[in-house]
């Protein structure tokens, strides 16, 4: 065989092999796609108890949850910096103000989900459907029953009474919980009256501790008599020690109701797994709602879900029906009021 014939034969063989291999590669595309695992990537500041809940979601849907934890602000800035290249499908935060800021920054995409609209009340979600509350966190008055008669307690505003001087323990002004509480005062009374209330708290020389758990431990140790904290911190402490001595008082029951915030989530604007992200949010609002709320002793956002028995034991109460998006809209003004009033 001369060289020309040999090259011709080799060329024919090469073409045949390429055709055969190409056909083999395309023989089982459906099986390969089916074998490829599905994911949803979550940036979350709500890290208590999420792993068993996410594991249950994976068992029921086959979608694996990969999550990154951090503070609300840090995760929000990371989303902003990553832009279109973000791996995040879901941004989950523990304060409505942070979700509002993410929505206003264009980091969250509007969702058309009848499931979410049907199961999450309107005042616990964004009017533009960019984020949805998944649990309720009630920031109310806590007290030591050996040193405080609950008949002495009534409202957040009444904690300006001089009888609480040196007896009050609160969170610093830098924390979003404090800023959202002051935002609710602005919504209820206007900025001038809200500033008077904050100045009244400051005049009572509150002890400022940047941890709700440590605030409650300080009350138990006699380092204060009355505090404002989120309810679920007491739930956790009672879970560990049913004899923990601090009690809940539901604030403002004769007017607007106790201040409530949320933990919630939205789908990111550039989510690479958008369909899976929507499935996760819808599942957390329905089948996974009770487990997600109970994992941190929070109240469900879905009114049809059951709360953890420990917090059911706190009794029924009226919650402020204010649309929680107001906490974001009024946050900057709340920070200015805290600063002018000398609340640090």
Q: What is the pLDDT of residues 246-263, one digit of tens each?
A: 999 999 999 999 999 999
In tens, the pLDDT along 219-246 reads: 999 999 999 999 999 999 999 999 999 9
Query: Which residue is it, tokens 């007491």?
Result: 234
Position 47 confidence tier, pLDDT thresholds 50, 70, 90: confident
Domains, the chain, with CATH or none: 37-136+260-312 (3.40.190.10), 138-258+326-340 (3.40.190.10)
Q: Within 10 A of 284 (CB to CB), how many other CB atoms are there? A: 28
pLDDT (mean) for 275-290: 98
Residue 155, exposed/middle/buried by CB under 10 A (0-12, 13-18, 19+)? Answer: middle
In tens, the pLDDT along 196-216 reads: 999 999 999 999 999 999 999
In tens, the pLDDT along 305-333 reads: 999 999 999 999 999 999 999 999 999 99
pLDDT (mean) for 266-291: 98
All residues at 6 or more sequence positions from 342 whose CB lies less than 8 Å from its CB, including other chains: 199, 202
pLDDT (mean) for 12-32: 37
High-pLDDT (> 70) share of the chain, %: 90
Q: What pLDDT does residue 100 have?
A: 97
Tokens (6 digits) for 154: 């009534």
Any idea which of 3-7, 150-154, 190-194, 299-303 has the lowest mean pLDDT? 3-7
pLDDT (mean) for 109-136: 97
Q: Report whether pLDDT(133) > 50.
A: yes
pLDDT (mean) for 129-144: 98
List the one residue out of 302, 338, 337 whose CA is nearest residue 124: 302
* Alpha carbon distances (Å) from 30 to 18, 25, 90, 249, 323: 21, 11, 28, 59, 47
Query: Which residue is it, tokens 């029951």?
Result: 253
Q: Report whether pLDDT(118) > 80.
A: yes
pLDDT (mean) for 174-179: 96
Q: Is 157 within 8 Å of 193 (Cβ atoms)?
A: no
- Full-model pTM: 0.89
Q: Is 278 within 8 Å of 131 (Cβ atoms)?
A: no
Q: What pLDDT does residue 35 have?
A: 52
DSSP 8-state symbol, 139: E
């Amino acid at each position: 065989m001369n060289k020309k014939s040999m090259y011709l034969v080799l060329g024919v063989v090469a073409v045949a092999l390429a055709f055969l291999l190409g056909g083999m590669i395309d023989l089982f595309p459906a099986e390969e796609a089916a074998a490829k695992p599905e994911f949803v990537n979550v940036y979350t500041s709500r890290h208590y108890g999420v792993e068993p809940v996410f594991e249950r979601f994976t068992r029921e849907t086959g979608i694996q949850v990969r999550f990154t934890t951090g503070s609300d602000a840090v995760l929000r800035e990371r989303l902003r910096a990553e832009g279109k290249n973000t791996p995040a499908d879901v941004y989950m935060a523990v304060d409505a103000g942070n979700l509002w800021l993410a929505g206003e920054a264009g980091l969250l995409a509007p969702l058309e989900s009848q499931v979410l609209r049907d199961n999450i009340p309107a005042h616990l979600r964004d009017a533009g459907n960019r984020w949805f509350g998944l649990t309720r966190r009630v920031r109310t008055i806590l007290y030591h029953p050996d040193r405080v008669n609950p008949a002495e307690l009534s409202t957040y505003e009444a904690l300006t009474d001089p009888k609480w001087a040196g007896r009050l323990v609160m969170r610093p002004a830098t924390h979003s919980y404090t800023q959202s509480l002051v935002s609710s005062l602005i919504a209820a009374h206007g900025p001038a009256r809200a500033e008077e209330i904050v100045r009244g708290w400051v005049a009572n020389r509150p002890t400022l501790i940047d941890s709700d758990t440590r605030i409650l431990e300080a009350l138990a140790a006699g380092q204060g008599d009355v505090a404002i904290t989120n309810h679920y911190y007491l739930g956790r402490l009672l879970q560990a020690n049913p004899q923990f001595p601090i009690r809940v008082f539901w604030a403002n029951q004769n007017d607007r109701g106790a201040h409530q915030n949320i933990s919630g989530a939205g789908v990111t604007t550039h989510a690479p797994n958008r369909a899976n992200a929507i499935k996760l949010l819808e599942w957390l609002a329905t089948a996974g709602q009770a487990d997600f709320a109970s994992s941190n002793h929070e109240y469900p956002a879905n009114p049809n879900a059951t709360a953890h028995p420990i917090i059911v034991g706190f009794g029924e109460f009226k919650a402020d029906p204010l649309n929680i998006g107001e906490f974001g809209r009024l946050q900057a003004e709340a920070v200015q009021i805290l600063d002018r009033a000398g609340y640090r």
